[in-house]
Amino acid sequence: MKFTKMHGCGNDYVYVSLFSEKVENPSEVALAVSDRHTGIGADGLILIAPSDSADFRMIMFNADGSEGEMCGNGIRCIGKYVYDHGLTKETEVTVETLGGTVSLSLRVAGEKVDQVTVDMGEPRPVPDSFHVRAKGDSDLIPEKIEGFDCFVISMGNPHCVIPVEEDPYGSFPFEEVGPKIESHTDFPSRTNVEFVRVLGENHLEQRTWERGSGETFACGSGACAVGLAYIRKGVCSSPVRVDLRGGSLSIGLTDDGRVMMTGPAAEVFSGEWPTIPGSGR
């Protein structure tokens, strides 16, 4: 299986093009390749596939083998992959995901894509499959979970945005609180968790506990959820800079309410993974 490792702000995935490769048991493959000691090392596996409704289709699996609906950093890297690897020469492409179809605008420098803007669309009403008290009529639900005031948001995947005043990289009990909220009974599908501190005007800091992967250097859809919450609540104006452990993203809202995310995409290396059919290894 030929693969390419890529990352967006340090949120890294193993990418495989189903235009030329076959992947049996992708959940098991995701577990195997994601291991940072015995595998390639990644936050998960992303397959790039043909689509009947868009230019391409994203199929993503977290590091624990569970399938995810959407990944903002991951989808930016898809934009870079399909252009740089000759699957398209268009700089405007659409990608089908389990969370809906999104549009990408690719910035090309030196014949390679270095930055991608993702039109994430309008925020989706939170379904009851994401939160037990959701009624499907609101895209931002104030809640109190484990003693924290937070916002439950859907960006096609579930997010719990938690404002904090202290440094989330300091004494804050991140590794205790993150998994507890991820698997809280209020979230039937589990949830991504973003801890957010205000650094200045239109400047936020986010530390991410990602569903199925633990701490990641970045979460693009999470940054979109964070930007949406802080702009909607009047704390910030659009666009807002969100600093992540692996870099920064710009998140904005258009006049008609669409969430726009702009950030980098990078290729690390390519190789071959010696899969044994049916085993995932």
Specify burial of residue 27 (Cβ count, 10 A radius: 0-12, 13-18, 19+): middle
Question: Residue with structure tokens 């397959």?
Answer: 47
176: amino acid identity, one letter? E
Residue 75's CB is within 10 A of a number of other CB atoms, namely: 26
**Whether 71 is catalytic:** yes
From residue 68, alpha-carbon distances to 16, 167, 210 in Å are 16, 29, 11
Query: How far is the C-alpha of 50 from the C-alpha of 154, rounded, in Å?
Result: 25
Among the listed residues 9, 77, 160, 219, the single catalytic one is 219
Segment (H or E) for 193: strand 192-200
Give the active site residue among 71, 77, 150, 236: 71
Distance of CA 200 to the CA centre of its chain: 24
Angle CA 100–13–187, to nearest 5: 50
Which contiguous run of DSSP H or E holds residue 141? strand 140-145
Helix (H) or strand (E) holding 144: strand 140-145
Burial label for 269, CB within 10 Å (0-12, 13-18, 19+), is exposed
Closest C-alpha to 100, from 156, 27, 20: 156
9 as an active site residue: the answer is no
Go through 47-62 and write b for each residue having 16 or more CB atoms within 10 A of its CB, e for each that does not.
bbeeeeebbbbbbbbb
Q: Do 216 and 64 contact (CB within 8 A), yes or no?
A: no
**Could you give the residue numbers annotated as active site?**
71, 219
